Amino acid sequence: LDFGLGWGRITRFFARDIAPGSLLGVDPTEDILEVCRDSRIPAELARSEFLPETLPFDGVDLAYSFSVFTHISEGAADVCLDALHAALNPGGLLIVTIRPPAYLQLDPKMHGALAELGDPVEALKEPRYVFVPHDADGHPQEGSVAEGEMTYGDCVISLPFVRESWGDRFDLLDVHVTSEDIYQVAVTLRRR
């Protein structure tokens, strides 16, 4: 299951190795899903909500989410993790990408949050979810922003946060940094 399918670039790679009919993809933006359909992405595609209470698929053995948890608020992440947990089989794997602490220095939008941390090295040894929302104007989520709360932006999630706050639903199995994009750290989790 590709959660946050986007243009389907990762799903295309799986098509060579996964049995036909076994690839699934969800995204909250219908326009993106239409592009995927027009591009003949070899997966069963469905629209999800931005904050999905459930997903249109279940019985999933592997779900992945590239560059989704790098952009959503803590509350949105909890909602999405609950939905993914429900969709996964017991023992199923979830791979998400998160931003490393160094991203706070890279992105000028994060500099205010960085300053608030004081000593970021020490602060990020603790469970921290650092989120800076984007402006809702023109964003697909614009119409669903309740009471001015934007759940899309940029964030850095510390590994102690992953262990502590996601540990009731998932076991942390692996953390992998690639040289292709050091700001997309792959975290592999197993459903409890």
Query: Would residue 77 count as lying in a domain?
Result: yes
**At 7, is the pLDDT very low, low, confident or very high (cuts 50, 70, 90)?**
very high
Q: What percent of the chain has pLDDT over 90?
A: 87
The whole-number pLDDT of residue 179 equals: 93
Give me the domain span that covers residue 53: 49-100+156-191
Q: In this predicted model, which residue has the larger pLDDT, 142 or 88?
A: 88
pLDDT given at position 142: 54
42 located within any domain: no
Report the domain count for the chain.
Answer: 1
Q: Is the pTM of this model over 0.75?
A: yes
CATH number at residue 93: 3.40.50.150
The sheet with strand 185-191 has its strands ordered as 44-47, 24-27, 2-3, 60-65, 88-98, 185-191, 170-176
**Which residue is listed with tokens 């590709």?**
2
In a domain, 68, yes or no: yes
